[in-house]
Amino acid sequence: MFKSVKYLFVFVVAINIASCKSKNNKPTIKFSADSSSIIIKNIDEASLFEIKKVYQANPDSVDFISVLLTPGDTDSLQDEINILGKTILSGDSLIFSPQKSFLKSKKYLVESYIGVEFANGGKLFKGTIKHNLEPQQQTLKR
């Protein structure tokens, strides 16, 4: 009887630990104060380590994020337009600076795989594991 109680206790503790670790610690994506660039902050240590490793190997050809100009309700534009720019690693943040300035009153879709997990303890116990990775998406309006 004590063995089953012990296993039950270990199981409950493991679930609690897994649920605590599955907090919403996604990186934050937002415009800089002057809206001239996009900043990704709150990157977890493991992702930041991998970013630094890839960035140091080849900083000119790294695409950590994609930025798309989305069509508005009254725009004749039908497709999203890819915004070209340069990504710079600054401390614990990534900064995306576009080749051309962001346009006022336009919406931009930012997609990033930074910090995205395929499966963690919380998803495993809840049964919500998906078959593919989905990027973190954030719509920003300038």
Three-class SS state of 55: helix
pTM: 0.69
Average pLDDT for 7-27:
53
Helix segments in the chain, DSSP class H: 2-21, 45-57, 121-126
**CA–CA gap between residue 71 and residue 68 (Å, rounded):** 10
Q: CA angle 135-57-115, nearest 5°?
A: 25
Given the structure tokens 């270990």, which residue do they identify? 10
Question: What confidence tens digit (pLDDT) does each residue in 64-117 have?
Answer: 889 999 987 776 657 888 999 998 888 889 999 999 999 998 999 999 888 776
pLDDT, position 56: 82
Residue 8 CB neighbour total at 10 angstroms: 10
Classified as helix, coil or strand, 13 is: helix
- Domains by residue range for the chain, with CATH: 25-141 (2.60.40)
Distance, CA of 32 to CA of 96 (rounded, Å):
10
